[in-house]
């Protein structure tokens, strides 16, 4: 997805918003709501799904029931124990309402105050914050009537999450694409109780993510199994906190987090050069990428033919990007990552001291690489700070909060 505006300023709740009504409207993006529910439940949120009749044509309610652990509400007239007041009962029990995806038709109906099915009636009866994650064809998004409805909903206090820009299901390219579920959850982080979000407005955050790929010949490489998920989650968290974010990424299959600028690289040398080009006005630097430790000394310009004999490669060390940045005359606040397979605490502490950085994030590679969740320990001058297992999105916000607090301490003491 291409760059769009960062998430809007969210309400500051007196307590975390933990109980959610998730409304699903009709559209091909409805299938992505299943992943959104999974992530919300995994983050410890209570999710009650309400579907429009059109949404049930794209995905079965049973799918959402299995993921949320709750019966899915679809019918305003369905008999219940609530004296026929499901629209009132559901919003009484909720802290917030999220419509994802929100179709152009649904936006029009709630903008005009219509209440002709369960979900529109629920929105009309709510007294809690309303979040809208639109999904529609790019021409529909730009339609003047649709834009008037959006302006009216914003004026009425609704918060929009997206849309993004990119290739759409119809084959067209433009604004209107549904935000990825991880992006939605990251944007909502300030109201979920994950953290007291640091204010990073006016700060530049530079991150590396993913693997590097070192060429042996034109068709063979040395690389690793890093997915890039932790670095991308940190980039999204920094955007949600108002930072200018630059993400330097090796090859991954992940969508670009909304609101950040990405520089794509392949090799460790390319990543180092990109970092040094961007580092001059950076406030926080997160070296999350799994940079290859070695690269072939003399990569072949042509495919090496198989001969049946053993192949010997001479490998030379790649540049130490984190150590190079930390040794600059005026370095940014540097955060490193240590993925170990054993002796995590010992090796992580050694790495932090060797690179002379204030904070390092340690995890066991076998529990982290390629997965959506992780278990990490933060190491700084005060010792070790283990965090309970959680999604990488949630952990990203904890890491960012800890790093920002340390950065402020270093600034005040220097």
Q: Give per-residue pLDDT as tens, 162-181.
A: 888 776 666 777 788 899 88
Comparing CA positions, the residue from 151, 21, 167 lying closest to residue 87 is 21
Residue 146 has pLDDT above 80, yes or no: yes
Q: pLDDT digits over 244-265, tens only?
A: 999 999 999 888 887 889 999 9
H or E segment and range at residue 67? helix 61-68
What pLDDT score was predicted for residue 349?
93
Residue 41: predicted pLDDT: 86
The CA distance from 19 to 126, in Å, is 13
Q: What is the pLDDT of residue 187?
A: 82
Nearest-Å Rg of the Cα atoms of the chain is 24
Confidence (pLDDT) at 83: 46
pLDDT of residue 195: 52
Sign of CA dihedral 57, 63, 64, 69: positive
* Beta-sheet strands, E only, within 197-254: 204-209, 214-217, 220-222, 244-249
For 180-235, what is each residue's pLDDT tens digit? 888 888 788 778 765 566 778 889 999 999 999 999 999 999 998 899 999 999 99
pLDDT given at position 173:
73
Say which residue, 241 or 6, is predicted with more confidence: 241
Pick the CATH number of 204-299+310-413 from 3.40.630.30, 3.90.1150.10, 3.40.50.10300, 1.10.10.60: 3.40.50.10300
Residue in 170, 241, 260, 334 annotated catalytic: 170
CB distance 141 to 104 below 8 Å: yes
With a cut of 60, say whether residue 2 has pLDDT above it: no
Phi/psi of residue 159, nearest 5 degrees: -110, 125
Under the banding of pLDDT at 50, 70 and 90, the label for residue 413 is low
Chain region(s) in the chain for CATH 3.40.50.10300: 204-299+310-413
What pLDDT is attached to residue 12? 63
Q: Are 242 and 404 in contact (CB under 8 A)?
A: no
**Alpha carbons 407 and 394: distance in angstroms, whole number:** 20
Active site residue 241: no
What pTM value is reported for the model?
0.67
Instruction: Give CA–CA dist 20/22, Å, rounded.
Output: 6
Average pLDDT on 333-347 reads: 90
Most confident of 85-99, 163-177, 220-234, 383-397: 220-234
Spatial distance between the Cα atoms of 185 and 219, rounded to a whole number of angstroms: 38
The better pLDDT of the pair 77, 93 is held by 93
Residues with Cβ < 8 Å from 273, sequence gap 6 or more?
none
Give the closest residue to 141 by CA, choosing from 115, 107, 190, 117. 107
Q: What per-residue confidence (pLDDT) applies to 3?
A: 36
Class at the top of the CATH hierarchy for domain 19-192: alpha beta
Alpha carbon separation from 379 to 348, 363, 382, 387 (Å, rounded):
8, 11, 8, 11
- State how far the Cα of 168 lies from the Cα of 344, in Å rounded to an integer: 44
Whole-number Å distance between alpha carbons of 171 and 275 = 35
> Of 355, 333, 332, which is closest to residue 406 (Cα–Cα)?
333
Give the DSSP H or E segment for 99.
strand 96-102
Q: Are strands 244-249 and 164-167 parallel, antiparallel or unpaired?
A: unpaired
Range list for CATH 3.40.50.1950 in the chain: 19-192
pLDDT given at position 53: 93
């Amino acid at each position: 997805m291409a760059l769009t505006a960062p998430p809007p300023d969210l309400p500051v709740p007196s307590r975390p918003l933990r109980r959610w009504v998730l409304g699903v409207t009709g559209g091909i993006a409805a299938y992505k709501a299943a992943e959104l529910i999974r992530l919300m439940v995994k983050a410890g949120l209570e999710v009650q799904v309400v579907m429009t009749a059109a949404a049930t044509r794209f995905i079965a309610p049973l799918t959402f029931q299995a993921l949320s652990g709750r019966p899915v509400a679809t019918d305003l007239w369905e008999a219940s124990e609530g004296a026929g007041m499901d629209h009132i009962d559901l919003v009484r029990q909720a802290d917030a309402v999220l419509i994802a995806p929100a179709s152009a038709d649904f936006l029009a109906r709630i903008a005009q105050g219509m209440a002709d099915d369960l979900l529109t009636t629920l929105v009309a009866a709510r007294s809690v914050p309303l979040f809208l994650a639109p999904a529609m064809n790019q021409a529909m998004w730009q339609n003047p009537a649709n834009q008037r409805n959006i302006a009216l909903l914003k004026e009425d206090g609704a918060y929009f999450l997206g849309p993004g820009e990119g290739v759409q299901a119809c084959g067209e390219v433009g604004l209107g694409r549904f935000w990825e579920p991880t992006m939605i959850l990251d944007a909502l982080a300030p109201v979920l109780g994950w953290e007291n979000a640091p204010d990073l407005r006016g700060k530049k955050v530079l991150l590396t993510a993913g693997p590097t790929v070192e060429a042996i010949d034109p068709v063979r490489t040395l690389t690793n199994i890093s997915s890039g998920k932790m670095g991308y989650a940190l980039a999204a968290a920094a955007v949600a906190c108002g930072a200018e974010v630059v993400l330097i990424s090796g090859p991954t299959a992940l969508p670009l987090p909304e609101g950040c600028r990405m520089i794509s690289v392949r090799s460790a040398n390319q990543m180092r050069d990109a970092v040094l080009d961007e580092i001059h006005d950076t406030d926080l630097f997160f070296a999350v990428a799994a940079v290859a430790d070695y690269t072939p000394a003399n990569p072949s310009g042509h495919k090496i033919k198989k001969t049946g004999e053993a192949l010997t490669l001479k490998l030379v060390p790649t540049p130490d990007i984190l150590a190079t940045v930390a040794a600059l005359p005026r370095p940014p606040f540097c955060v490193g990552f240590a993925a170990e397979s054993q002796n995590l605490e010992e090796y992580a502490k050694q790495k932090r001291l060797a690179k002379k950085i204030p904070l390092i994030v340690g995890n066991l590679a076998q529990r982290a690489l390629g997965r959506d969740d992780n278990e990490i320990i933060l190491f700084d001058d005060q010792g070790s700070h283990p965090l309970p297992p959680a999604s990488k999105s949630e952990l990203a916000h904890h890491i960012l909060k800890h790093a920002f607090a340390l950065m402020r301490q270093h600034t005040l003491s220097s």
